[in-house]
Chains A and B, each alone.
Chain A
């Protein structure tokens, strides 16, 4: 059972200045599964997601207490190289954010960061990553064209491919479909089913149906607290906490 856990968070507190944004969150995220974080805006679900690859390091005035273990190693340990951490734990953002360069260079960006220069190796990684994000067929004839010319849904899959290119173990997705149309959304949801075979996927969503569709486990956050966490079907069918029940039945949110 224990070796099945990819990420283990223990009593995590996060403060933005005086604002206590995460209040003692503990959670075990299973390997090769999709875990969804749901909750109303401002509940801390995105903030919590960002603690998993230390993206909060970029924000001034943030202090963090508690422990986050990735395969048993504390990622907040003083000796941790965030470059290596973020290679293992990739991220896809809410707004598609391809870099202003060609599709090829977008995908090759991460591998190049980590020192891969060989053209053949890069070619292979680019093709594999684009296939992995189910967009290779759509862009294979225009790899040298700017990624900014693609549609929003395509751009987001380019961003997923870009994250895959560094061969991560975990992929964090921060509301990856909230800026997309329904068809692009369903493509990315299908993709998650595929991705979890090789990766551990964590997704923040404000769309509860999406959590039901894609997630094995679901966590419900409210006001910086982890209210309930467990098997998605159980959580939605038999919520243990009154607040979870109120939220999923649409009484607030």
Chain B
């Protein structure tokens, strides 16, 4: 009897420390989820009543008495497209060069170190540089183009790194197989390596878009805060050279200088939905282009 309890007591002692550990782990896990859920719920409750059709399709105007973020949505889209059109090919190209052409050595290490450092720099420093260089030196002023050029610098490392990681996971045997059939380097890259790395490239692009959508500091003093909507479709092009505030910039302004918290939370809700859609889109797209699936 005694001996029996002795063993089971020893047994139980271990179990207790296990259980405590489990509780702690579950606690930390649920805490992070709860905080996230709380923020989302809070923002939704505060903001959802501001979001309606006119909020999404009109521009805030004292004269007309309308409240809306259509101009900011358009500005955000223009900045995303402008930035990605330039950043994606350059980023992917840089990754291809680093992974497939450059001889490993000091130069490559330096570039890798630079990209890593670049991605860790606070965005406001990019903004400062963008304002001075693109805005002042190149004379682009406060404009969507200045904002985009600044953001390109910010998201390039993201795309390059993701593409590079994807290229690294392409098995060496694919390269050998292609070369063994007489394929040249560029042909191999085009037909085997890029398709195989598509999910990684898409992930990089979507992360970059997420970063653009979420960026405010760097855009405040490069792209400005105008919220007017171009009157015609043709007006979209000159818009590139004009000031324009994105949704995040508008959120910041609404919540600070304008003191309009209804609009601020309304923008926040739209942003949250957008981020959710982007994440969903990433998963779908990456799965669609996953050539390694065995169907």
Q: Which residues of A contact B (CB under 8 A)?
A: 53, 55, 58, 60, 82-87, 90-91, 93, 95, 97-101, 109-110, 112-114, 145-146, 148-149, 159, 162-163, 166
Least CB distance, B113 to chain A, in whole angstroms: 22
Give chain B's interface secondary structure class: helix
Q: Which residue of B has the minimal Cβ distance to A110?
A: B181
| A43 CA / B182 CA spacing, docked (Å) | 27
Assess whether B174 is in contact with A99, with CB atoms less than 8 Å apart.
Answer: yes
**Interface residue ranges of B146-205 to A (CB < 8 Å):** 171, 173-184, 187, 191-192, 195-196
- Check if A86 sits within 8 Å of B176, measured CB to CB: no
Residue B295, interface by CB 8 Å: yes
- Cα–Cα, bound, A49→B179 (Å): 15
Q: Is the CB of A83 within 8 A of B173?
A: no
Q: For residue B178, which residues in chain A have a CB less than 8 angstroms away from its CB? A: 99, 109, 113
* Most central of B179, B181, B183, B293 by chain A CB within 10 Å: B181
Contact present for A101 and B182 (CB under 8 Å): no
A99 in contact with B177 (CB, 8 Å): yes
B291 close to A (CB within 8 Å): yes
User: How many whole Å from B201's CB to the nearest CB in chain A?
Assistant: 15
| Closest Cβ neighbor of A87 among chain B residues | B182
How many chain B residues touch A (Cβ–Cβ < 8 Å)? Answer: 24
Q: Which residues of A contact B182 (CB under 8 A)?
A: 82-87, 110, 113-114, 166
- Whether the pair B174, A97 counts as a contact (CB closer than 8 A) is yes
What residues of B have a CB within 8 angstroms of the CB of A86 in the complex? 179-182
Closest Cβ of chain B: how far from A66's Cβ, in Å? 22
On whether the beta carbons of A148 and B192 are closer than 8 Å, the reply is no
A112 to B182, CA, bound (A): 10
B231 close to chain A: CB less than 8 A: no
Query: Which chain A residues border B180 with CB–CB below 8 Å?
Result: 53, 55, 86, 90-91, 93, 163
Distance (whole angstroms) from the CB of A87 to the closest CB of chain B:
5
Give the CA-CA distance A93 to B176 in the complex, in Å.
9
Write the chain A residue with the least CB distance to B196: A100
B2 within 8 A of A: no
A214 to chain B, nearest CB (A): 21
Chain B residues with Cβ under 8 A from A113's Cβ? Answer: 178, 181-183, 187
B187 contact set on A, CB distance < 8 A: 113
- What is the bound-complex CA distance between A118 and B182, given in angstroms? 19
Please indicate the chain A residues that have their CB under 8 angstroms from the CB of B183 in the complex.
83, 109, 113
Measured in the bound complex, the distance between the Cα atoms of B205 and A187 in whole Å is 46
Contact of B173 (CB < 8 Å), options: A93, A146, A163: A93
Could you tell me if B292 and A100 are in contact, using CB atoms closer than 8 angstroms?
Answer: yes
**Chain B residues near A146 (CB-CB < 8 A):** 291, 293-295
Collect the chain A residues with CB atoms within 8 Å of residue B184's CB. Answer: 83
**Closest A residue to B291 using CB positions:** A100
Q: Which residue of the partner chain, among B173, B176, B181, contacts A109 with CB atoms under 8 Å?
A: B181
In the bound assembly, the distance between CA atoms of A145 and B293 in angstroms comes to 10
Q: What's the nearest-Cβ distance from chain A to residue B257, in Å?
A: 53
Which B residues lie within 8 Å of A100 (CB)? Answer: 174, 192, 195-196, 291-292
Task: Answer whether A90 and B181 are a contact pair too, CB < 8 Å, given A99-B192, A109-B191.
Answer: yes
